[in-house]
């Protein structure tokens, strides 16, 4: 049975469509990523799965529980880490975790044992007496994940978990998530970072409320086909027109650069440079990336569509 099923879910804020017939499923013990720009629908879907927004259209289940019909069962089945910090800085790590456990009715030796297990798993055992405000950003994030794991959920939901983290802390965070996955935890994470999306077992790419691509990172890159030639110059549209005429390719201008996707002719790069030495400032030729997938499906870079 799938750990999470989203079936034809749509949601509107007044006249604005945030989600449009979104469907996917998440297998148990996997890291599933929702990749997309800010304003693309990720957080709306996250809030629906967390039971924080009412369903308008479609259906979703988490661990077999209908999110709309059985929200209390869903809340017991999920652990949640929100994008905004949730720790009380004046409390110690242990006090933050005990307060969280008590919200779920845990106490005494049961809670103490669970805190010991979670902090050992997340490398926080020696931080229990440290005030939260003294921790680094990466350690704070791990404590927040620990809060979400205290009641032993079946699915962990994380909204942009690496917000504000430096590269080292981000690496440590994702190592922790991989360890949780390997221990049997199902993880669903929203992100706008390509490097994080590469770490997911499977991805749904969201743009303007619609899923434009779904699959493993390898499957999505393979769907582009061939390599991608990127050419930059002072007049990209003129250059794109000339490339189409001379080399019978189908270039397009994206964010001030000319892109020719699906190429298998590795001599094209040198021929472009030879043909237009004055019009080419830089040129690159490489294997498709998830960014290339996003551009191929939407016609723009992910961050070009970002909103606050």
Are 73 and 33 within 8 A, CB to CB? Answer: no
**Does residue 50 sit in the same domain as residue 186?**
yes
Dist CA 72 CA 38 (whole Å): 29
Dist CA 143 CA 153 (whole Å): 16
**Does residue 84 sit in the same domain as residue 65?**
yes
CA proximity to 157, closest of 9, 39, 48, 71 = 48
* Within a domain: 76: yes
**Does residue 146 sit in the same domain as residue 279?**
no
pLDDT at 306 over 50: no
Output the six-digit token pair for 278: 């004055």
Dist CA 67 CA 253 (whole Å): 42
Dist CA 298 CA 127 (whole Å): 45
* Within a domain: 24: yes
Burial of residue 167 (CB within 10 Å: 0-12, 13-18, 19+) is exposed
pLDDT in tens, 73-93: 999 999 999 888 889 999 999
What's the pLDDT band for 256 if we cut at 50, 70, 90? Answer: confident
* Within a domain: 88: yes
Report residue 76 CA to chain centroid gap: 23
Give the pLDDT of residue 136. Answer: 92
Give the pLDDT of residue 303. Answer: 67
Which of left, alpha, beta for 51 (phi over 0: left; psi -120 to 50: alpha)? left
What average pLDDT is seen over the chain?
A: 91
Give the pLDDT of residue 169. Answer: 86
**Does residue 27 sit in the same domain as residue 83?**
yes
Give the pLDDT of residue 304. Answer: 59
**Does residue 93 sit in the same domain as residue 199?**
yes
**Does residue 10 sit in the same domain as residue 152?**
yes
Count of domains for the chain: 2
**Does residue 155 sit in the same domain as residue 270?**
no
Output the six-digit token pair for 235: 């007049």
CA proximity to 177, closest of 63, 56, 31, 75 = 31
pTM, rounded to two decimals:
0.83
* Within a domain: 221: no
**Does residue 230 sit in the same domain as residue 212?**
no
Residue carrying the six token digits 């294997």: 287
Q: Which domain holds residue 263?
A: 226-287
* Within a domain: 304: no
What's the pLDDT band for 297 if we cut at 50, 70, 90? Answer: confident
pLDDT at 49 over 60: yes
**Does residue 181 sit in the same domain as residue 234?**
no
């Amino acid at each position: 049975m799938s750990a999470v099923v989203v079936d034809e879910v749509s949601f509107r804020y007044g006249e604005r469509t945030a989600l449009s017939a979104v469907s996917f499923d998440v297998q148990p013990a996997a890291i599933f990523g929702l990749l997309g720009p800010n304003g693309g629908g990720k957080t709306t879907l996250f809030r629906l799965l967390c039971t924080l927004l009412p369903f308008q259209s479609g259906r979703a289940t988490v661990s077999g529980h209908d999110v709309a019909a059985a929200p209390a069962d869903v809340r017991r089945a999920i652990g949640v880490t929100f994008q905004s910090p949730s720790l009380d800085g004046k409390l110690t790590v242990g006090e933050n975790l005990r307060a969280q456990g008590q919200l779920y009715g845990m106490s005494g030796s049961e809670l103490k044992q669970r805190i010991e297990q979670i902090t050992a798993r997340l490398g926080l055992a020696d931080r229990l007496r440290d005030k939260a405000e003294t921790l680094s950003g990466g350690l704070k994030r791990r404590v927040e994940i620990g809060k979400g794991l205290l009641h032993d959920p079946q699915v962990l939901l994380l909204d942009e978990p690496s917000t504000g983290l430096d590269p080292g802390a981000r690496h440590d965070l994702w190592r922790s998530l991989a360890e949780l996955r390997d221990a049997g935890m199902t993880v669903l994470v929203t992100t706008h970072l390509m490097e994080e999306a590469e770490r997911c077992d499977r991805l749904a790419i969201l743009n303007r409320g619609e899923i434009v691509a779904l699959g493993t990172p390898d499957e999505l890159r393979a769907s582009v086909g061939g390599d991608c030639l990127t050419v930059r110059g002072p007049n990209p549209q003129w250059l794109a027109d000339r490339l189409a005429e001379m080399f019978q390719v189908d270039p397009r201008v994206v964010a001030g650069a000319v892109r020719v996707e699906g190429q298998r002719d590795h001599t094209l790069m040198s021929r472009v440079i030879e043909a237009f030495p004055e019009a080419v400032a830089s040129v690159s030729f490489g294997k498709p990336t998830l960014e290339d997938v996003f551009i191929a499906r939407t016609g723009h870079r992910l961050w070009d569509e970002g909103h606050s």
